[in-house]
Amino acid sequence: MPEAKPEAKKATKDKDAPKETPPKDAPAEAPKEAPPEDQSPTAEEPTGLFLKKPNSVSVEAGKDTVIVAKLNGKELSGKPTIKWFKGKWLELGIKSGTRFSFQEIHDSASNVYTLELHIGKVVLGDRGDYRLEVKSKDNCDSCGFNIDVEAPRQDASGQSLESFKRSGERKPQGAGELDFSSLLRKREVAEEEEEKKKKKKSDDDDLGIPPEVWELLKGAKKSEYERIAFQYGITDLRGMLKRLKKVKAEVKKSSAFTKKLDPAYYVDQGNKIKLVLEISDPDLPLKWFKNGQEIKPSGKYLFENVGKKRILTINKCTLADDAAYEAVVHDEKCFTEVFVKVPPVLIITPLEDQQVFVGDSVQMMVEVSEEDAEVIWMKNGVEMIPGDSRQARYRFKKAGKRHILIYPDVTQEDEGRYQVKTNGGQCEAELIVGVKQLEVLQDIADLTVKASDQAMFACEVSDEKVTGKWYRNRVEVRPSKRITISHTGRIHKLVIDDVHPEDEGDYTFVPDGYALSLSAKLNFLEIKVDYVPKQEPPMIHLDCSGKTAENSIVVVAGNKLRLNVAITGKPPPVTTWLKGDEVFSATEGRTRIEQRVDYSSFVIESIERSDENRYTVKVASSSGECMTSIFVKIVDVPDPPEAVWVTSVGEDWAILVWEPPKYDGGQPVTGYLLERKKKGSQRWMKLNFEVFTDLTYESTNMIEGIFYEMRVFAVNAIGVSQPSMNTKPFMPVAPTSEPQHLMVEDVTDTTATLKWRPPERIGGGGIDGYLVEYCLEGSNEWIPANTEPVERCGFTVKNLPTGAKITFRVVGVNIAGRSKPATLTQPVTIREIVEKPKIRLPRHLRQTYICKVGEQLNLLIPFQGKPRPKVVWTKGGAPLDSSRVHVRTSDTDTVLFVRQVARSDSGEYELSVQIENMTDTATISIRVVEKAGPAENVMVKDVWGTNALVEWKPPRDDGNSEVTGYLIQKADKKTMEWFTVYEHNHHISCTVSDLIVGNEYYFRVYSENVCGLSDSPGVSKNTARILKTGLTLKPFDYKEHDFRTAPKFLTPLIDRVVVAGYSTALNCAVRGHPKPKVVWMKNKTEIHEDPKFLMINHQGVLTLNIRRPSPFDAGTYSCRAVNELGEALAECRLDVRVPQ
C-alpha cells in the first residue's frame, strides 16, 4: 500500500519525539518558520550591565552543566563583585569547592567580563530558581534564571514498535499479517502501568529534596521548617508543606533507643560539644560512626557511660568535625549532623595603595582579627597561589594576625589591583610600578678625525646598572679588532682604532629598557663641506599639555615639574628665564635651568605653594627675538580644619564642631573625615568612610567614663589634609539615677535626720555627693539644706520651724550635673517624739565580768529614749570616783572607762537612765583578779622505798579568784635542776614516785588560778633522802672515748627537675662532732638571708626550701659542712622547667 510508506516514515522520524500528544480533535498547526541562526526564540536584548544574561537550562541528573553570563565593563567603574544565589538568600559561594565552582574572565581588549557557574554531577536538589547579582562602586544589577533537573532517561522507545509486529515471525520478509489484537492488549497493559507510575510519582515526588532532609523535616517542629528550607536551599516551600501534610509518618518505637540524638547540633569552632542519647538496656553494645567510619576513643573523642545515657564528647571542634554522626546498636541506628560555625575573619587593617619604582622591595600588609586565619590573595581577579611564588618572584609571610605579600625586586609586570578575601570581608589596593627616569650626565659629541686615527665616543648616565647597545647608521656595532665597547660604572665608551672612510656615519647609544638615545656623527678631516649658515629667526615651540587656560599649567604640590621648551633658530639663540619679573639663572638646586642644544628646561623638584608664579622664557639671537609666558598654578591638599572642640557630651555621645581650613589647596573642600581614639591610645578609629559635609558631627557608641580625643581631616579633589589639632580629652558622662529608699530616720523639735541608699545606676562619671532640699507646706520653693554635696547617705537638716510640715528630697550630683530627685511621698511634721527609756545591756555583761589587774576596762552600753535621757552611774549606791573611773555619754550609749583596773575596782555598778518620771536601771557585776600567792608550809611528810609524800596548805591570797590547781616540781640536791612532777593537781598533797636511790630531793609547789601560776613557789623545808642498806657504789675505771669526728654526708644531694611556680626542697644528711657549721651556696656563691630560701637543720638533716622557683633559680646548689676537724661538700643540679 503506497499510503503506508509515509506513515511508517513519520513513525520512524517521531521515534524520539516527546511523549505528549495533542488531542484528537485539535486542528493541525501550520508549520512555523525557523528563526535565523543568530536569533534565538529566548534571546533577550542586553539591558543594564549584562551583555548576555544566563539562560534557563534543563539538565539530566548526574551530568555537569555550565551557566554563562557576560558583563559590559564599560558601564563599570571598577572590578565588580559577583555573587550567585539559589532561591532568595542562599549564596552559592559557601559551597565553593564541592560541586560548585566559579570562573571570572576579563577580556581587556573588549572590556567584557565573562562569568561562569560550573555545577558538577547535578542532583535533583539543584533544581529551582537562581539569581546572579553584580555590584560595583556606582552600579548594581541582577538577573534570574532557572535550572530544571530531569530524572535519568530509561530507553523505552521501542516498546510500542515491538508490539507492532507481524503474526508470521518466521516467514520471509514481506510475508505475514499484522497482529492488531496483540497490539491492543499490550497497549492497554502499558497504559495501566503508565497510570500506576504517574500515581506513584505524584505520591513519591520528592521535589528534588534528598531523603535525609525529608527525615530531618519529619522529626522537626513546624517552627523550624523555614530555617531548614533556607539552610538546604529549598525554594518550593508550598510543595514541601503539601508533601509533609500527605506523609503520615508512623513513628516506629525503637527497642534499643529510649531517647535518640537531636536532628542537628551547632557548635562554634574551637569549642567542645556533647552528643547525648539513652538506650533501653545499659548492657547493649553501642558504636559511634562519623561519615560511615567508626570512631575510636582518643583525646579528641571521649566516650561516657552514665547509667543508660551514652555521651560522645568532641573536643576542640574544627571544620573536619562538620559531618554526619551515627550511633549503632545491633541493627538499629540513629543519626544526627554536627555543624561547626567558623567565626568570621574580619579585616582590621586593610591594604594600602603603593607607588614604587622598578627594582624596589614591596611589602603589602593586611591585618585580620584571627591568628593563623586563611586568606586568599588575588591579583587582577586571579588567585595568587603560594606554590607558584618562586616563579612569580613573590612570597607570602604570616606574622600572627598579619599577612604580608613580599616582592623583593618588583617589576612592571607586578603592577595591578591586589585583593585580599576572607570569610568575613575583603579589601583591595593598587600597586603602581613606575620606571625611574634615566638622566644623561654627559652626552656624546661629534668627532672629526683623520684617516688611521682613533675615534672615541663616550657618554655618562645616572645609573651604573644600565646597559646599552651602540649603532652606526641604525645597524648594531659589534666588537672587533678595531672596535672596542666598554662599560665602566656610569660611563659607556665606543673606541674605533685606525679609522677607515667606511666608519663615517651617525653613531647612536641606546640604553636598554629606556626610550632614550644619544647620537653623534663621525666625520673625516679630508672631507670639505662648504657650509653657509642659514639665518633663521629664533622660535619657541611650546607644548603646554594639561593646561586649563592658554599657557597655564596646573600642578599638584610635591610633584616634579619640568617645563621643556623646544627652541629653533640659526645661529643658536640665547635663552633667558624669568620668574615673575626677576631673571632666574640657577643651574643647580631644587629649582634649576637645564640647557640643551635644541631645547631649554625649567625644573622644579618637589614643587611647593610658593612656586606658583608666571614664568617667562625669552630667546634672542642676531636674527631676532621671541618670548612667551607660562603661568604655573599649584594645587594641594587643604590645610587642617581649625577650632575643633566638643560642645556637649552625654552618656555615650558627644557633639563636635569645627571651622573650615583657611587654605583650601586651590580646590574646593568636598567634605571632612573624622577620627576618634581613647586617651593614651595610639589607635585612631575612623568615624565615617564617606566625606561629611557639615561642620557639626555627633559621635555615638562611646563608653561612659572613658576619656576620648577626636580630630578632623579636610578633603578636596587632591587628597586629604593633615589632621587637625586633637580636641581636649573629654569624657561621655550622664547624671546618675535618683537616690533610692529615701526615709526619715529621726525628728526633733528643730531637726530632721534623713537617710537613703545610693542610686541604682551611677555610671562612669561617678558621684560627687548628694544635695538635700526641703519645701514648706503650701509653698513651691525648694530650699537647699546644704550648699556642698555630702558624700555619705545620710544628713541632718537643722534650724527647722517647730510644728511645720515639710517635704524633703535628695538629688545625686556628679560631673554631668544633678540627677532626678528622690522625694518623700508625705510631708514630715517637725516635732519631738517621746520614747520610753530602755537599757540594752550586752549579753556578756549580764553575768559577772572578769578582768585582770592592770588591764583596761571599757564597757559600752547602748540605750534608747527620746528626748535625750539623763544617765547616772553609781557603785554600791555611792557616786563613782572620778579620778579613776571615767564616764562618756552620747544620745544613744554610755561608756564606763578605767585605764588600769585594780582589785579595789571590783563590785556592783548601777546604771540608771531617766526621762522625766520614766526610769530604767541595770546592775553590772565586775570582778578584778590577779595571780594567787605561793602555797604555804610545804613539807615532806613520809618517805618509803623510792616514794615521797608531800603536803602543803592553800595560799594565803587567792588573787580574788578560786585556786584551780597546783604545779609540783622536784630537784636533786646535787644539781638543783627542777623537773615538773604534776600539773593541775587539785589536792593539797601528792605522792612522788620513781625517785632514784641514793639521791636527796627538794620539792616546790606553784598555785594556779584564772590568771595563771603564781609568781613564786612554796619550797619544802625538809628533804626526801632515798636510801638502801647493804649496797656500795664502786666507780668503774674506764678511759674516756673521743667522740669527735670530721663532717661527713650520710645522704648526698640529688639532681632535681622542678616545674616553675611550685615550691621545692633540697635534702641531705650530715654527721660530725662538734656540730659542724652548715653553709648553702648557689653557683659557688653563699646564700644569705634571702626570703626566697629557707634553711633548716634538724639533728643533722639539712633542708633548703625554695619558694616558687623561676628559671632564674636554676643552677648548681652545694652544701658545705665545716668543723675544727675538717669539712665536707655535697652538690646537685636544679633545673626549672616552664610549663607550655
| HEC sequence for 617-632 | EEEEECCEEEEEEEEE
Q: In what order do the strands lie in the sheet with 893-898?
A: 835-839, 857-866, 893-898, 886-889
Rounded-to-integer distance, Cα 1067 and Cα 1054, Å: 8
The angle subtended at Cα 98 by Cα 95 and Cα 100, nearest 5°, is: 65
Region 1032-1054: mean pLDDT is 83
Return left, alpha or beta for 321; rule: phi > 0 is left, psi -120 to 50 is alpha, else beta: alpha
- Out of 226-235, 319-328, 470-479, 977-986, which region has the weakest mean confidence (pLDDT)? 226-235
The reported pLDDT for the residue numbered 909 is 93
Place of cell 560642645: 647
- Reported as half-sphere exposure (CB side, CA atoms, 13 A), residue 532 has a value of 1
Rounded-to-integer distance, Cα 712 and Cα 642, Å: 9
Confidence of residue 248 (pLDDT cuts 50, 70, 90): very low
Rounded-to-integer distance, Cα 561 and Cα 592, Å: 11
Contact call for residues 354 and 365 (beta carbons, < 8 A): no
Closest CA to 754 of 763, 765, 741: 741
Residue 436: CB atoms within 10 A of its CB come to 13
The reported pLDDT for the residue numbered 587 is 83
Confidence of residue 464 (pLDDT cuts 50, 70, 90): confident
Region 356-365: mean pLDDT is 85
Contact call for residues 93 and 101 (beta carbons, < 8 A): no
Name residues whose C-beta falls within 8 Å of residue 260's C-beta, 6 or more positions apart in sequence: 254, 277, 334
pTM of the predicted protein model: 0.32
Residues in the chain: 1140
The reported pLDDT for the residue numbered 1040 is 78
- Out of 369-378, 640-649, 947-956, which region has the weakest mean confidence (pLDDT)? 369-378
Q: In this predicted model, which residue has the larger pLDDT, 542 or 1108?
A: 1108
Whether residue 520 has pLDDT greater than 70: yes
Return left, alpha or beta for 865; rule: phi > 0 is left, psi -120 to 50 is alpha, else beta: left
CB-based burial label for 309 (10 Å; 0-12, 13-18, 19+):
middle
Among the ranges 56-60, 118-122, 384-388, 654-658, which has the highest mean pLDDT value? 654-658
As a whole-number percent, the residues of the chain with pLDDT over 90 amount to: 32
Name residues whose C-beta falls within 8 Å of residue 25's C-beta, 6 or more positions apart in sequence: none
Round the average pLDDT of the chain to a whole number and report it: 83
Contact call for residues 616 and 593 (beta carbons, < 8 A): no
Whether residue 990 has pLDDT greater than 90: yes
Whether residue 304 has pLDDT greater than 70: yes
The reported pLDDT for the residue numbered 34 is 39
Q: In this predicted model, which residue has the larger pLDDT, 93 or 655?
A: 655
Confidence of residue 435 (pLDDT cuts 50, 70, 90): confident
Confidence of residue 398 (pLDDT cuts 50, 70, 90): confident
Confidence of residue 14 (pLDDT cuts 50, 70, 90): very low
Residue 667: CB atoms within 10 A of its CB come to 17
The reported pLDDT for the residue numbered 389 is 45
Among the ranges 43-47, 198-202, 216-220, 975-979, which has the highest mean pLDDT value? 975-979
The reported pLDDT for the residue numbered 128 is 83
Whether residue 196 has pLDDT greater than 50: yes
The angle subtended at Cα 838 by Cα 833 and Cα 844, nearest 5°, is: 145
Rounded-to-integer distance, Cα 749 and Cα 867, Å: 10
DSSP 355-371: EEETT--EEEEEEESST
- Reported as half-sphere exposure (CB side, CA atoms, 13 A), residue 227 has a value of 7
Q: In this predicted model, which residue has the larger pLDDT, 445 or 532?
A: 445
- For residue 585, give the 3-state DSSP assignment: coil
Q: In this predicted model, which residue has the larger pLDDT, 570 or 750?
A: 750
Contact call for residues 1102 and 1069 (beta carbons, < 8 A): yes
Whether residue 664 has pLDDT greater than 60: yes
Closest CA to 553 of 616, 628, 631, 615: 631
The reported pLDDT for the residue numbered 157 is 42
Confidence of residue 1029 (pLDDT cuts 50, 70, 90): low
The reported pLDDT for the residue numbered 162 is 41
Whether residue 306 has pLDDT greater than 70: yes
The angle subtended at Cα 1003 by Cα 1002 and Cα 1004, nearest 5°, is: 135
Whether residue 42 has pLDDT greater than 50: no
Rounded-to-integer distance, Cα 106 and Cα 379, Å: 12
- For residue 222, give the 3-state DSSP assignment: helix
Rounded-to-integer distance, Cα 534 and Cα 388, Å: 64
Residue type, 909: Y
Residue 40 grid cell: 534565538
Rounded-to-integer distance, Cα 563 and Cα 423, Å: 51
Return left, alpha or beta for 803; rule: phi > 0 is left, psi -120 to 50 is alpha, else beta: left
Closest CA to 324 of 257, 258, 264, 234: 264
Contact call for residues 288 and 321 (beta carbons, < 8 A): no
Name residues whose C-beta falls within 8 Å of residue 357's C-beta, 6 or more positions apart in sequence: 433, 434, 435, 436
Confidence of residue 11 (pLDDT cuts 50, 70, 90): very low
Confidence of residue 189 (pLDDT cuts 50, 70, 90): low
Give the orientation angle of helix 211-218 with respect to helix 237-246, to 10 degrees: 70
Rounded-to-integer distance, Cα 911 and Cα 891, Å: 15
In the chain, the N- to C-terminal Cα span, in Å, equals 98
Confidence of residue 323 (pLDDT cuts 50, 70, 90): confident
Whether residue 174 has pLDDT greater than 50: no
Peptide bond into 386 cis (omega under 30): no
Confidence of residue 67 (pLDDT cuts 50, 70, 90): very high
Name residues whose C-beta falls within 8 Å of residue 582's C-beta, 6 or more positions apart in sequence: none
Whether residue 372 has pLDDT greater than 80: no
Residue type, 1046: A
The reported pLDDT for the residue numbered 550 is 64
CA separation, residue 987 to residues 182, 243, 982, 983, 1134 (Å):
137, 104, 11, 11, 61
Peptide bond into 571 cis (omega under 30): yes
Closest CA to 142 of 152, 133, 153: 133
- Reported as half-sphere exposure (CB side, CA atoms, 13 A), residue 128 has a value of 23
Whether residue 152 has pLDDT greater than 80: no
Gyration radius of the chain over CA positions: 55
Contact call for residues 710 and 674 (beta carbons, < 8 A): yes
Residue 1013: CB atoms within 10 A of its CB come to 17
Rounded-to-integer distance, Cα 411 and Cα 358, Å: 5
Confidence of residue 17 (pLDDT cuts 50, 70, 90): very low
The reported pLDDT for the residue numbered 772 is 94
CA separation, residue 478 to residues 456, 465, 704 (Å):
15, 21, 80
Rounded-to-integer distance, Cα 324 and Cα 337, Å: 4
Region 519-535: mean pLDDT is 67
The reported pLDDT for the residue numbered 540 is 81
The reported pLDDT for the residue numbered 27 is 39
Q: What is the pLDDT of residues 1112-1136, one digit of tens each?
A: 999 999 999 999 999 999 999 999 9
Q: What is the pLDDT of residues 817-870, one digit of tens each?
A: 888 999 998 998 888 777 889 999 999 888 999 999 999 999 999 998 888 889
Residue type, 951: E
- Out of 567-571, 588-592, 895-899, 969-973, which region has the weakest mean confidence (pLDDT)? 567-571
Kindly state the greatest CA–CA separation across the chain: 169
The reported pLDDT for the residue numbered 861 is 92
DSSP code of 727?
A: P
Confidence of residue 205 (pLDDT cuts 50, 70, 90): low
